[in-house]
Amino acid sequence: MTDVAASPLRVGLIGLGRPGLHLMERFAAGGPFLVVAVWADPIVAEVVSPFGVRLVNHPHELLAAADVDVVWFAELDAFRNDFTAADTLCEKHTIVETPLTLSSAIADRAFNEAARSNRLLLVHHPRRSDPDFQQALAVTQDFAPSVLQAVKFVSWSYGLSPRGATRGHGPLPPDASDDAQITKLRFAAHALDQLLPLVSDRPLRVFATSDQDFSGSPKLFAGHSLSLQMTFEQGCQAEIDIRLDSPTRFQSGWLLTTAGGGYAKGRRFTLTDDGEVFDSPVTAASDDNEDADQYAWLAQRICSGMRDHVEEARVRTVVALLDAAQRSLESRQVVDL
C-alpha cells in the first residue's frame, strides 16, 4: 500500500454532491489523500476538470483501476437503501461519510464482507473534532470512574439543510446533502457517535419521537425533528433533540451531570464535600486543522491494513441505535437493544 509520507493514497469518489466536492477540494490542497477519479453525473464534468480528476461511467471502473487505492462514498442517501458496500465494494478499502445505513443487519454484513475480503471498511466522522465535544470528553475522563447520571444535547436551527461550500463553482446536481431528512439523520448520527464515548456504557433501550408521522413512509424520514431518549446499563439517561425548522436557533452543546459535578458550554462544575459548586473553564480544543487528524487516522488505518474492533463496535452501536429509533417511531413504544 502507498506510503502516505511519500505520496497520498489515491481516492475514487462515489458521487459528487457538495460533500464530494468538499473532499476533492480539501485533498487537492494536500494531505494523506488525493482524488484521482469520480463516478458521478456527467453534468459535473466542468466542476471536476480543474482538479485533473477523471469521470468514470460505473463504480466498478473504480474497483478495477490500478491508480485507485481507496473507494470513498461521498453520497449520503444510502440511508434509504441497502448499503452498496455490503456486497460489492470490498475489492478495495472503502471509506464512507457517516454510517450510511439504518439496519444493523446490513452494517454487520458490510463489516463481515470487508473482513472476508481482507479489506477495511472505515467511517469518516467529521464532527469528532468539535471543540465542545472534546471539552465534554475531557471532563468525563476527569470524573471517571464516577457514573454519568444524565446527558443531553439540543440542536435547533432556523432553516433546513445547510449548504456545503461550492467555492464559486456554481450549482451542483441535487443530492442528499440538500435533503432535510438526510441532514436530520446525519446530525443524529454525529451526536450518537459523540454520545457513546461520553457515557462509556452499553445502551439498553431507546424511545424516539418526531414532529410528523406520514403513513407508508419510513418514520425517520418524516418531518424535520427527531428526539431520542436512551437508557444505559448503569442508569445514565441520555437525550438528543434535533430540529431543523425552529425559528429559534439554539444549540446547547453537551450537558453532563454526575454525582460529583458536570459540564455545560465550556465550563466544568465540581461539587465539593461541603455541598458547594465551583465552576471553571475547560481549555478549548483547537479546530484550526478541521478534521485533519481524522484524515490522518484513516490513512494510517489503511496503510496498516489492521481492523480496529473498538471503532467498528462504536459504528455498529450508532447504527443499532438508529435502527431501534426507527422501530420505536413505527411502534410508538420503547425499544430494547
> 113 with 136, same domain?
no
CB 236 within 8 A of CB 273: no
> 92 with 111, same domain?
yes
> 280 with 138, same domain?
yes
245 within a domain of the structure (yes/no):
yes
Of the pLDDT bands very low, low, confident and very high (cuts 50, 70, 90), residue 191 is very high
Per residue in 24-80, pLDDT tens?
999 998 999 999 999 988 888 888 888 889 999 888 888 889 999 999 988 777 787
**What is the model's pTM?**
0.88
Q: What is the pLDDT averaged over residues 165-187?
A: 63
Per residue in 80-129, pLDDT tens?
777 766 556 667 899 998 888 888 998 998 898 888 889 999 999 988 98
Angle subtended by helix axes 309-331 and 180-199, to nearest 10: 120
For residue 247, is pLDDT > 60? yes
327 within a domain of the structure (yes/no):
yes
> 57 with 200, same domain?
no
> 136 with 282, same domain?
yes
Q: What is the pLDDT averaged over residues 159-169?
A: 47
2 within a domain of the structure (yes/no):
no
4 within a domain of the structure (yes/no):
no
> 136 with 123, same domain?
no
Which CATH number belongs to the domain containing residue 286 in this structure? Answer: 3.30.360.10
311 within a domain of the structure (yes/no):
no
> 250 with 278, same domain?
yes
For residue 163, is pLDDT > 80? no
> 27 with 150, same domain?
no
Low-confidence winner among 54-63, 65-74, 139-148, 162-171 (lowest mean pLDDT): 162-171
> 201 with 326, same domain?
yes
Per residue in 272-329, pLDDT tens?
878 788 889 998 655 555 466 889 999 999 999 999 999 999 999 999 999 999 999 9
Domain count, the chain: 2
220 within a domain of the structure (yes/no):
yes
Which CATH number belongs to the domain containing residue 116 in this structure? Answer: 3.40.50.720
For residue 230, is pLDDT > 70? yes
Per residue in 13-26, pLDDT tens?
988 877 888 899 99
> 166 with 246, same domain?
yes
Of the pLDDT bands very low, low, confident and very high (cuts 50, 70, 90), residue 160 is low
Q: Please give the mean pLDDT across all residues of the chain.
A: 85
* Confidence at residue 84, expressed as pLDDT on a 0 to 100 scale: 67
For residue 161, is pLDDT > 60? no
Q: Please give the residue range of the domain that contains residue 113.
A: 9-127+300-306
The residue behind cell 491494513 is 305
* Confidence at residue 159, expressed as pLDDT on a 0 to 100 scale: 59
> 117 with 177, same domain?
no
1 within a domain of the structure (yes/no):
no
250 within a domain of the structure (yes/no):
yes
> 123 with 135, same domain?
no
